[in-house]
Amino acid sequence: MDFDLNEQQEMFTKGVRDFARGEIAPRCAKMDAAGIIDPELLDMVRDHGFFGLCFPETYGGLGLDTVTYGRVVAELARVDAGVAIMVSVHNGVGSFPILQFGSEELRREVLPRMSKGELASFCVTEPGAGSDAASMTTRAERTETGYRLSGEKIWVTNGYHAQFFVVTARLDNEPGHDGISAFLVDRDTPGLMVGAKEDKMGLRSSDAVSLVLENVDVPGARRLGEEGDGFKIAMSALDGGRIGVAYQSVGLAQACLDVGARYAIEREQFGKPIATKQAIQWMLADLATELEQARLLADKAAWLKDQGRSYGREAAMAKLAASEMAGRAADRALQIHGGYGYSKDYDIERYYRDARVLRIYEGTSEIQRLVIARSVLSEYGG
């Protein structure tokens, strides 16, 4: 594995960095206060091809490898983690199930539209089914033309703007994993109702909504995979999604290091910059070291995915390590800022709020530890 990006990857990443600093950064505070992405910025994100990053060129996308895609997500998160997760969910869990499990006819119908910016979302979590996804109660009943879905999903990222919803539902009331199937549902399907945006603590430029399905008829051609494949499809999508969250965490932590180091150099106490104090230096040293560790784990998981090798365990490790690290990074950077860090006048206040959810979505830290432990124990016959 090469630890350096090639020239093409470097150029692409630099372009994203320049875009993020020039177009996203000036809007961050207003988007955070309003709790929604700037419509003009959303159009820019579409026009720059960010919604087709991982889509094959056959379907109108840029066809980026996973490492480059991850670095793009990190550069976006370095400025606004909410914009980063919007892009990551669309390119990952929102579209991956169609690309991997949809028919070729379905792929040719919807993926070019998605790559041009018709947003996709991923609907698994329910009021009574979070980490225990297998306990979902959303129902699918067979009809003459396909299926009829009824139920409720919550925390649907991108749902406010989305045109497409990947929905998991239980067929035949069959218990456990085997009873779950997956479907692609269009926004304008009768019976599908998008709820109000959640008023979130952080990631406020990214929307999350509830989704109610009341006798929503879905053609049979919109089923993804075979009947009963829904849980497998969801878990496969989440493996890739965790790589995206790992890079999002890396980008956010890099932002914390940026502002923490700069503030330490500028801020004087006792007649000297606080950067001369060993206590501050150690915080920055630990932050930088843990950030590099997390970046390497994310790169390894992404590289394995690009090689067509198994990467579920590594994705869980990367997501666990990076998300936990980002929380510590935000805490240290805010501590360096002292009381000023608690003020909305400084970006670290937003970073601190944004970092908290990283340990929850795409599988909590506790779930990641279970995934990793089961993989480790299986090597010893457990």
Catalytic residue numbers, as ranges: 362
The residue written with tokens 């177009």 in the block is 23
199-203 long-range contacts, Cβ below 8 Å, gap at least 24? 199/35, 200/35, 200/357, 201/353, 201/356, 201/357, 202/81, 202/82, 202/350, 202/353, 202/354, 202/355, 202/356, 202/357, 203/81, 203/82, 203/85, 203/354, 203/357
DSSP 198: P
Strands 139-142 and 164-171: parallel
Strands 120-123 and 139-142: unpaired
Using an 8 Å Cβ cutoff, are 291 and 249 in contact?
A: no
What is the number of other CB atoms lying within 10 angstroms of the CB of residue 220? 12
The 3-state DSSP class for residue 318 equals helix
Using an 8 Å Cβ cutoff, are 78 and 295 in contact?
A: no
What is the number of other CB atoms lying within 10 angstroms of the CB of residue 189? 15
